A and B are shown apart, each in its own frame.
Chain A
Amino acid sequence: MSDQGNDKGIVLTEAQKRARRSRSIAIAVSLVVLVVLFYAMTLVKGPAILLRPL
């Protein structure tokens, strides 16, 4: 692909970049919360974490 070509793909505006960044941070925070949740619940339940009671 030539650097001088017109095909630059999608170029984000500053506002779009800011919106994307805030969404990315929110997804990262959600994933951290999920990991912490599973870690904490494993500590709380111990081996019983593998049991699936009704």
Chain B
Amino acid sequence: MSLISEGAEYNGALAEPSMASVGDYIALLKPRVMSLVVFTALVGLAIAPGSIHPVTAFTALLCITVGAGASGALNMWFDADIDALMTRTAKRPVPAGNVKPGEALAFGLTLSAFSVGVLGLLVNILAAAILAFTIFFYAVVYTMWLKRSTPQNIVIGGAAGAFPPMIGWAAVTGSLTFEPILLFLIIFFWTPPHFWALAIYRMDDFKRAGVPMLPVVRGEATTRLQILLYTLVLVPLGVLPWPLGYTSALYGAVSAVMGLGMLILAVQVYRERLPSDQACRHLFAFSILYLFLLFAVLMIDRGWGGLIARLTA
């Protein structure tokens, strides 16, 4: 999609007023993806040392939420042509014709500017800078460049989804240490097994759209091996906050048990072959629970636990 074709769409928009509802614009924000981003950012915010006023914390979270939504809107603007070809995405507002591409672009750019600007003005510059880089990375590096050009697209592009805990941490401290970088690494190595599991059982969709996902380009067997290898890196990384002294044994136990679950499912995925795809579906669903539980326990252990300790002191 080019800006020149956008001009043609705009002329059409003048002739035919928009029928887009508020719900269509909310769908452009990718609410489901946004919820995980907001949750991991909240954890980064909660476990960071020092204090933050609740209103400032709310402002930071709101900006991160809107910024994540903005990058989703920009992604849907650029990917409308391939979204129309895939069952999973064909009903998105732009390919469905509810929102015109130019409207999605304007919406994404406006929200990007406001989220970064407000975060920089009201919270701090470092958090705003990382948010701006995250939006740029997702919309430009991943969506416009990597997604259509390399099977490593979601490995590198996954970094965009890994930044939110760093933004949350930076909002409190105005700096970065190894701890938020470790959270970044956990999400970074979690993304490939999570997304490739989906890519295997949605392979026909990606093939039809011409997206060079790993199972399409390198084949199903290679992808299953890569899922196992990334899970082997992810599991010890997931436990690492405990031996490093960032968390209590509770987190260590939960991350070890959940990691074992990930590993068992990854081995099942490795042994399975299409047309059977049950193990891939199980791994995809379990990986969401894995990340959610790890971060929830981390927040209870360090964030809420710390808050309770402060209140009772």
Contact = CB atoms under 8 A, between A and B. Distances in A.
Given A23-B20, A53-B174, A37 B62 contact: yes
Interface in B22-69: 22, 25, 53, 55-56, 59, 62
Contacts of B125: 52-54
Contacts of B175: 54
A22 B98 CA distance: 14
Interface in B93-136: 114, 118, 120-122, 124-126
B245 interface: no
A54 B122 contact: no
Range for the number of chain A residues in contact with chain B:
20 to 34
A26 B122 contact: no
B21 interface: yes
Contacts of B56: 41, 44-45
B157 to A, nearest CB: 27
A19 interface: yes
Nearest to B122: A41
Which of B19, B118, B125, B175 is packed against the most chain A CB atoms within 10 Å?
B19
A19 B122 contact: no
Contacts, number: 53
Contact of A12 (B17, B114, B126): B17
A15 interface: yes
Interface string A37-50: 11011001100010
A15 to B, nearest CB: 7
Given A53-B124, A54-B124, A54-B126, A41 B55 contact: yes
B177 interface: no
Interface of B: 15, 17-22, 25, 53, 55-56, 59, 62, 114, 118, 120-122, 124-126, 174-175
Given A41-B55, A41-B56, A44-B53, 6 more contacts: A19-B18, A20-B17, A22-B22, A37-B59, A38-B122, A54-B126
